[in-house]
Amino acid sequence: MNALTLLALVVPAIDPTTDGSPQPWFTVGPLLSVSRRQGDDTAWGVGLESTLNLAMHNNRMGSFRSGAVGVFGQAQWMDGDHARLCGGVQGNFLIFGMETGVAHETGSAAHRPTTSLHLGPFLGFGYGSVGVRLSLPFQEGRDVSGRLPYGRELGLTLTLKKPFSPML
């Protein structure tokens, strides 16, 4: 689920065999999170995030990137008892970025499976990022077994990314 255009800010994505325009980049790396949920205690997560930057703007200062738009995907194991999968679109300008997408958390003994809107502003620093995660669930009420959906979530995320060669 996952992804950020962090690397596009630091590593040149220009293939010398092309006209010098920025090329798509793929990154992948670990994702750590800590969050607080409505009605629950602190939740911890560990997983992976990947990003594919599809459209980048070069501001004519060598290989410096002023912005990018792409897609991201995340997969996390949360609190040792369920998975959180997320994906969507993202954009960034300089070190400032924003993810928007849909997250789905599998059920646990206490909660039913829940789908939510994911919003994630972040700051990208070279090969990593620090961000805020906000999840707003679409479901309400108990299921037939009496489990409630996961509540609203506000959290902190940390990522590290490994770049892969331009993908054309």
Q: What is the pLDDT of residue 12?
A: 40
Q: What is the pLDDT of residue 22?
A: 60
Per-residue tens of pLDDT for the chain, all 168 residues: 333 343 333 334 433 334 445 667 888 999 999 999 887 778 999 999 999 988 776 655 544 556 889 999 999 999 989 999 999 999 988 889 999 999 999 999 889 999 999 999 999 887 889 999 999 999 888 888 889 899 899 999 999 988 776 654
Strands 148-149 and 111-112, sheet pairing:
parallel
Q: What is the pLDDT of residue 9?
A: 37
Evaluate whether 97 touches 4 at the Cβ level (below 8 Å).
Answer: yes
Element (DSSP H or E) covering residue 32: strand 25-37
- The Cα 163–Cα 3 span in angstroms is 11
Q: What is the pLDDT of residue 140?
A: 85
What are phi and psi for residue 146, nearest 5 degrees?
A: 90, 5
Q: What is the pLDDT of residue 8?
A: 37
Q: What is the pLDDT of residue 15?
A: 39
Residue with tokens 């990154």: 27
Q: What is the pLDDT of residue 167?
A: 56
